[in-house]
Amino acid sequence: MAINPVHLRTLHEIARLRSFSRAAESLRLSQPAVSLHIRQLEKALGLPLLERLGKRAEATQAGALLLERGGRALDALEAAAASVHALRGVVGGRVRVGTGATASIYLLPPILRRLRARYPEIEMVIVTGNTPEIAKAVAENALDVAVVTLPVRPRQLVVTPFYTDRLVAIAPPGWQWQGRRSRGRRPSGRALTPADLAGEPLILYERGGTIRQVIEGWFKRGRVTPRVSMELGNGEAIKTLVSAGLGPSITSWVSVRAEVRAGTLRVVPLSPPLVRRLGIIKRRDKPENPALRTLLHALEPRAGRRSRVS
């Protein structure tokens, strides 16, 4: 029984995107062609590989097993093709990269731009999400590599330090810090403590995200409970609401540098300092084809760097 690698790739995209239509867009195929691939694959194996749950598509037990084992075969085929291209001096192939909002907006674009200019044959697929879902996708081989907030749980992943992101308090210029006034501290003091911020109407990231957990841990270590007035999942929305004077926030320094230069936000350091660590993750047994190896090499210059508040 022969399995068509093209059909296996189609199954992989449907399972990754949980949608026939989105998989068709990703593969640049018509939706009937995508459905035909799956029917032919299921006919060859004699078992259903996908089930529809409303508009979503999920892999069955047989589909998940095929993706786990067959995914390695697809990787091997792509690595072989990339190696042949390398004999001609061409570094190419597909790399699926996962990341969060901060890295995708503020850290990765210059790296990927230089990489694309030097190696135009490398096709990069960028997927964004929160750390748990991105780490799960890497562990399941749905993504080749990712830059995420640490720590990550799956044991089959290897982690390389990438960037230490300092978190800071942000507020509109002239904001009067309630906590400092009530505790008799001068507003001109350099840093804010958990007790200083606990009484402020804070605008924070929504619960469940890794950055929110990091912030909550900082308040817990300070033995205070923050007063949260708003919770949002979008960092740009948080900055807009803070600029409008609705409350201060705690966020990544690298994400507010432009607003600080423009004078629409003010940054105040935290005491004790609060950081989150970003890391590069991939499977321990992941074959490094030339395209993936080139991307990892491009990420190295920033590995271990630390943001500085200036």
- For residue 184, the model assigns a pLDDT of 46
Judged on CB neighbours under 10 Å (0-12, 13-18, 19+), 81 is middle
Q: How many residues does the chain have?
A: 310
Q: Is the peptide bond before 187 cis (omega within 30 degrees of 0)?
A: no
What's the rounded Cα separation, in Å, for the pair 200 and 196? 8
Contacts of 46 (CB under 8 A, 6+ apart): none
* 249-252/157-171 β-pairing: antiparallel
Phi, psi dihedral angles at 211 (to 5 degrees): -65, -35
Reference 160, options 302, 274, 255; nearest CA is 302
- For residue 182, the model assigns a pLDDT of 47
- For residue 92, the model assigns a pLDDT of 75
Q: How many CB atoms lie within 10 A of CB 22?
A: 16
- For residue 187, the model assigns a pLDDT of 44
Q: Is 250 helix (H, G, I), strand (E, B) or coil?
A: strand
Q: Is the peptide bond before 151 cis (omega within 30 degrees of 0)?
A: yes
Residue 230 Cα distances to 178, 203, 206, angstroms: 17, 5, 8
- For residue 188, the model assigns a pLDDT of 43
Judged on CB neighbours under 10 Å (0-12, 13-18, 19+), 263 is exposed
- For residue 180, the model assigns a pLDDT of 52
Q: Is the pTM of this model over 0.85?
A: no
Three-point CA angle 305, 111, 75, nearest 5°: 105
pLDDT tens digits in sequence order for the chain, 310 residues long? 578 888 888 988 898 888 999 888 888 888 888 999 999 998 888 889 999 887 788 889 988 888 888 777 777 777 776 667 666 666 778 899 999 988 999 999 999 999 999 999 888 889 898 888 899 889 988 899 999 999 888 889 999 999 999 999 999 998 988 755 544 454 445 799 999 999 999 999 988 888 899 999 999 999 999 999 999 988 999 999 999 999 999 999 999 999 999 999 999 999 999 999 999 999 998 888 888 999 999 998 766 666 666 5
What's the rounded Cα separation, in Å, for the pair 155 and 71? 19
What's the rounded Cα separation, in Å, for the pair 239 and 255? 9
SS (H, E, C) 39-80: HHHHHHHCCCCEEEECCEEEECHHHHHHHHHHHHHHHHHHHH
DSSP state of 218: H
What's the rounded Cα separation, in Å, for the pair 299 and 284? 18
CB 44 within 8 A of CB 3: yes
- For residue 308, the model assigns a pLDDT of 62
Contacts of 72 (CB under 8 A, 6+ apart): 141
**Domains located in the chain, CATH noted:** 1-90 (1.10.10.10), 165-275 (3.40.190.290)
Three-point CA angle 21, 7, 29, nearest 5°: 40
Rg over alpha carbons for the chain, rounded to the nearest Å, is 23
